[in-house]
Amino acid sequence: GSHPGRFIPLPLPAIWSPELSAQEVRRVAKKGVRAISFSEAPETFGFPSIHSGEWDVFFKACVDEGIVVSIHIASSNVAQGANPMASMNGSGPPIEVTSTLPCWNSLDCAANLLWSKSLVKFPDLKIALSEGGTSWIPGFLDRMERQFHVQKWAKSDLGGLTPTEMFRKHFLACFISDPSGLLLRDRIGIDNIAYEVDYPHSDCTFPGSPEELWEHLVDAKCTDEEINKITHENAANWFGLDLFKHIPKQDATVAALRARAADLDVSERTKAEYKAQYEREFGVIA
């Protein structure tokens, strides 16, 4: 396209059919795709559970083609302790509840995947938890380790790995703003953390994202090596991307990219102000 290197494709699988999803993986892999979307819990839509083994054909295709399974928060038919539609029409909990809890969907998803047999069957499967955050992971791993080492009656089998080792082998945790996660990065695994911006959703901090992230990195006393991993190297390694194929590294800094976009208006406006500006340019919104 006209902007190589800017857009990274993320196709959708045929979530109603593991077999068709596997076929789609192999089809899009030929086009250079490096990741495919997936649900936190396909069974909540009435489709097979990951514990059924039916998704193994899909996971095998992802491993064969080197494609990462990308799982976005709230991609199931379950919202932790909230009802988004009810929140919006005023009949349910406040919208703040709905906006606060989705990250914990990733915890539920990670637990199910870690205890599933699929990760043992496919030791090279890679999963990215999009927008799930990182601060929940240390406590989650503590509980997983407790279950694994104390509840011997369950006869848990993670292919010779501990839960922490299994998590670090298979998962990339992506965060928008998570200062506590940065403070606990050693418990999570420095190679398993990736920063994301989430533009243009309301949870993002654009256009001040670099400044906020830098403040959190400094507060956490992250080293230059750790900063490089968190900001771009981990994502590049996980997805097999050459970030500087189309733009030199020295031209990909915050300052350099902002200089290239100096003509763009990134000022902040309220919805009312934006609507007024839009209607001045394009006409009244019906």
Contacts (Cβ under 8 Å, ≥6 apart) of 216: 177, 178, 179, 182
Q: What is the largest distance, in Å, between two alpha-carbon atoms of the chain?
A: 68
Q: What is the DSSP letter of 250?
A: G
Give me the pLDDT at residue 4, please.
72
pTM: 0.90
First to last CA, the chain: 34
pLDDT tens per residue across span 97-116: 877 877 888 999 999 999 99
Q: Domain 18-282 belongs to what architecture?
A: Alpha-Beta Barrel (3.20)
Residue 68: helix, strand or coil by DSSP?
Answer: strand
Q: CA-to-CA distance for 109 and 280, rounded, in angstroms?
A: 45
pLDDT tens per residue across span 182-228: 999 999 999 999 999 988 888 888 889 999 999 999 999 999 999 99
Q: CA-to-CA distance for 41 and 109, rounded, in angstroms?
A: 7
